């Protein structure tokens, strides 16, 4: 089943509905990590905030239950991805087209861009660290 949520089309057959809460304000389509509570990855990513485990399918206030997609198709008109190429985790839980290059940053592949604003979201659970 597909549903439009906050301007994004999501494949809801791949959504986890749970009683997990946001540890801070979470925006629709932000990528999140989990430590018992969902959080946005820091900027730059650190070992404490990777790997990302899912994507918020709604905005949620700190302490509120948040719906999170663990894999599936998501669309966001604000994304500027390269069709057919890998999309990566960016600062603050953003989806970006190029891997972070800063020394010591962690690189996590989030999936493949199907179009400039659509991702087949399948986050890898083993990010790699950029050399120092």
> What is the widest separation between alpha-carbon atoms in the chain?
44
Q: Are 26 and 65 spatial neighbours (Cβ–Cβ below 8 Å)?
A: no
Which tokens sit at 115?
A: 């179009």
pLDDT tens per residue, range 91-129: 888 999 998 888 878 889 999 999 999 999 999 888 787
Q: How many CB atoms lie within 10 A of CB 67?
A: 19
End-to-end CA distance of the chain: 44
Residue 14: predicted pLDDT: 62
pLDDT tens per residue, range 5-56: 555 556 655 666 567 899 999 999 999 988 888 988 876 566 667 788 899 9
pLDDT tens per residue, range 60-90: 999 999 988 888 889 999 999 999 999 999 8
Compute the chain's Rg from CA coordinates: 14
């Amino acid at each position: 089943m597909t549903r439009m949520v906050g301007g994004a089309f999501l494949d809801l057959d791949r959504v986890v509905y749970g009683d997990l809460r946001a540890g801070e304000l979470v925006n629709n389509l932000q990528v999140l990590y989990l430590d018992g509570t969902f959080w946005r990855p820091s900027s730059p990513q650190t070992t404490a905030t990777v790997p990302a485990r899912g994507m918020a399918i709604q905005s949620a206030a700190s302490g509120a239950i948040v719906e999170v997609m663990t894999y599936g198709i998501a669309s966001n008109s604000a994304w500027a991805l390269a069709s057919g190429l890998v999309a990566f985790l960016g600062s603050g839980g953003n989806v970006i087209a190029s891997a972070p290059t800063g020394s010591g940053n962690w690189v996590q592949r989030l999936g493949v861009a199907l179009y400039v604003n659509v991702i087949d979201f399948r986050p890898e659970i083993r990010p790699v660290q950029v050399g120092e």
